[in-house]
Structure 1
Amino acid sequence: MMDLFQIKCFIHIVDQKSFTKAAFEVSISQSALSKNISKLEKELGIQLFDRSKRLATLTPAGHEFESYARKIQTDYDALLSAVKRFSTSGHLHIGSVEHMGRVGLTAPISSFLKQYPDKSVSIDIEKGDTVGLMNQLMAGKIDMAFIAHIISPISKTSNIDAYQLGQYRLYTLLLDEYHVIIGPQHKFAKRETISWQELAAERLVILNESYSLNTIIRETFRQCGLRPDIVFECDQVDTILGLVEENFGVSLLSKRIATTKYNVVAIRMDSPITRNTVLVIPKEVESHQRLAGQFAHHIINYYEDMTGGSSIRVVSGQS
């Protein structure tokens, strides 16, 4: 009998125009995906895809089936959303930037799950960069996201300014700054602060353009009228810290993240880039989905207790 997973597989193939890509999206092998579609076609007595072409192309019957399949999927998602508001059990799908443990996120998540020893609550964590997580949140693919809110010291622009946030609540859980990260033998190791002019003369190893920090670093140098000596970029924090530890160059990273595992020194910038850990949650989800609301407030209360103060509501321009 036709099931919802087969419909989900069908829709992903249509959207991706590829059996291979669709299989990745639903986390099964391509052969298993093909078997699900073949079983669906056999039950319906029609062929949904023209397999003679390079891209997955719908047959006329497939086009007719698509509109009904999408309606079934939409109605099912709406049903889950409608009943989810009454439930204190179920599943949460959250997003988080890397290095959750180093900014203290693993402890409150663990303590929340311990409230449900019967395993009636589960949490799936999607890791990624801030922009990717915000895009997923806006598309409704995750319930909430823990992001790095990065603010330029000169222009005060941030990495989430492009998003319309009127329907979201943002809670600043941790206040942090990007520090200059140097080896213990570096000439600045005993300094209290470093200027952007001094930093421009150093060999810089930084996160690459897949991270919004890269853009803000470059824009800050430009706004200061400086040309940085960037000698290495990559998407791995541990690689950068390893290079700094070996005195290959210096970097700009969160002090909380940089100093937990490596023999490096963190020096404050005289005009630092702000990096705050922020919880972003749709107002509708926080207010009307009981489990998600309880989880969000458990996290907020944990950080309030840890910091001895209230979490800071980030006020957006569309509030």
Structure 2
Amino acid sequence: MDTRYLTYILTIAKKENMTKAAEELFVSQSTLSQYLSKLESELGTPLFYRSKGRLTLTPAGTLYIEAAEKVMSIKNVLYQNIQNIENRGHITVGVTSQFGLAMLTDIIPAFKVQYPDIIIEISETNLPGLTRMILEESIDCGIMAMNETDPFSPDQVTILREEEVLFSIPINHPYRKKNPDRPIGIREFAENFGEENILLSKKGSTLRHLTDMVLENAGWIPSTVCETNSISTTRSMVAMGIGVTFISESCAADREHVAYYSVEPKLTRLNTLVTRKNWIQSQASRCFCNAIKNYFH
């Protein structure tokens, strides 16, 4: 049951602003405006009053929102009832990072013993993509690495842990003689690695956000840059001496060929479980989410 467009109108009503609604939904403002105009044309009446950038509900808009909320509620109850039939069901979960895949590898076998007829569908994608899927309610939950919990509401987010992000260099790099193991200060980067090829994660990722922040604060302008969306590829390139990079603690492997340093001040990101709004969970889905929440404890 595709309720994405109902979510569009509900979000516009909540934000009372087209730009803010588009940002929360991760769609363009023009796409959102075009859909609203088309819907109002079909209905033959405006759903919102427009006044100085603020959108407020007309009487027709109030009726539409009430109906949309009822449809969302009916959908959720229906899905829960279907899932509860003989403990059968379907849980869709997205992951943005290697720690999420490792977690699911540990959790799923025990879960399947208890709920053998539950199908778990895993989607691996980037942070902007998974954020959009959760906001559109096209996926049940996400195991995500985040810098901050926006645009989700507090009741959607469980912070699993704070994970350190490390700086990695080839094990035979000359800097190792100067500093075998102490944390690297922000001001040291430009002096010691200014001529290095820096390996960057794609725009929109937590690692890219932190890397860009370090580059700016350190006044570090790398001589060459390489972008990749694969952590394992990036780590292998560091091991081969192709460049340096920032990498999360959970992916800090191959220590025979790669040296890892803490950064001062410490760099961290959040490991989180995010659930979609209006997800009325079955006993099985609650058990699944609890296993994720308790994983690091």
Instruction: Bin the TM-score by the shorter chain.
Output: 0.5 to 0.7
For 1:128 and 1:284, how far apart are their aligned partners in 2?
A: 22
1:300 is aligned with what amino acid?
K
Relative to structure 1, is the Cα distance of residues 74 and 171 closer, same or farther in structure 2, using a 3 angstrom cutoff? closer
Q: In structure 2, what residue type is equivalent to 1:213?
A: L
The residue number in structure 1 matching 2:95 is 96
**Aligned-residue offset at 1:100:** 4.2
Query: In the alignment, is residue 192 of structure 1 matched against residue 182 of structure 2?
Result: yes
- 1: distance between equivalents of 2:258 and 2:203? 24
Corresponding position: 1:136 with 2:139: no
- Match runs of 1:115-154 below 5 Å: 115-116=114-115, 119-150=116-147
Partner of 1:83: 81
Aligned residue type for 1:173: L
CA contact (8 A) 1:85 1:290 kept: no
CA distance in 2, matches of 1:130, 1:100: 14
Is 1:254 the equivalent of 2:248?
Answer: yes
> Residue in 2 aligned with 1:206?
200
| Corresponding letter in the other structure for 1:184 | I
SS in 2 for 1:265: strand
Aligned to 1:165: 153
- 1:225 Cα shift? 4.3
- CA deviation profile, 1:172-229 (whole Å, cap 9, x unmatched): 2233111011111113331321122222342211212252422332133324444344
* Matched-pair contact (CA < 8 Å) for 2:164–2:248: yes
Change (3 A) 1:187 1:253: same
What is the DSSP-based 3-state SS (H/G/I as helix, E as strand, rest coil) of the residue aligned with 1:222?
Answer: helix
Determine if contact 2:164/2:266 at 8 Å carries over to the other structure.
Answer: yes
Deviations 1:71-93 (A, max 9, x none): 9x989955632515745431101
- Contact kept, 8 Å, 1:207 with 1:233, in 2: the verdict is yes
Matched residues in 2 for 1:166 and 1:254: separation? Answer: 24
On the 8 A contact 1:94/1:143 being kept in 2, the answer is yes
Structure 2 gap segments, 5+ residues each: 3-41, 43-67
Q: Assess if the C-alpha contact under 8 Å between 2:76 and 2:278 holds in 1.
A: no
Q: Give the 3-state SS of the residue equivalent to 1:104 in structure 2.
A: helix
More helix per residue: 2
Structure 1 residue 103 displacement after superposition: 4.8
Q: Is the 8 A contact 2:201 2:208 kept in 1?
A: yes
What secondary structure is seen at the aligned counterpart in 2 of 1:280?
strand
Distance 1:238 1:206, change over 3 A: same
Structure 2 residue aligned with 1:290: 283
Between the aligned partners of 1:173 and 1:262, the Cα distance in structure 2 is 29
Q: Quick check: 186-195 or 265-274, which moved more?
A: 186-195
For structure 1, the residue ranges without an aligned partner over 5 or more in a row are 9-62, 64-70, 151-157, 305-319
Counterpart mapping for 1:1-319 below 5 A: 77=75, 80-84=78-82, 86=84, 88-100=87-99, 103-116=102-115, 119-150=116-147, 158=148, 160-161=149-150, 163-168=151-156, 170-189=157-176, 190-201=180-191, 202=193, 203=196, 204-259=198-253, 263-282=257-276, 284-285=278-279, 288-304=281-297
Amino acid of the structure 2 residue aligned with 1:140: E
Residue type of the alignment partner of 2:253: T
Distance in 1 (CA, whole Å) between partners of 2:259 and 2:212 is 22
Taking a change above 3 Å as real, the CA distance of residues 74 and 173 of structure 1, as seen in their structure-2 partners, is closer
Q: Quick check: 2:239–2:258 contact (8 Å CA) kept in 1?
A: yes
Structure 1 outlier segments of 4+, above 6 Å: 73-76
Is the alpha carbon distance of 1:209 and 1:282 closer, same or farther for their aligned partners in structure 2, counting shifts above 3 Å? closer
Residue identity opposite 2:225 in structure 1:
V
Q: TM-score, normalised by structure 2?
A: 0.64
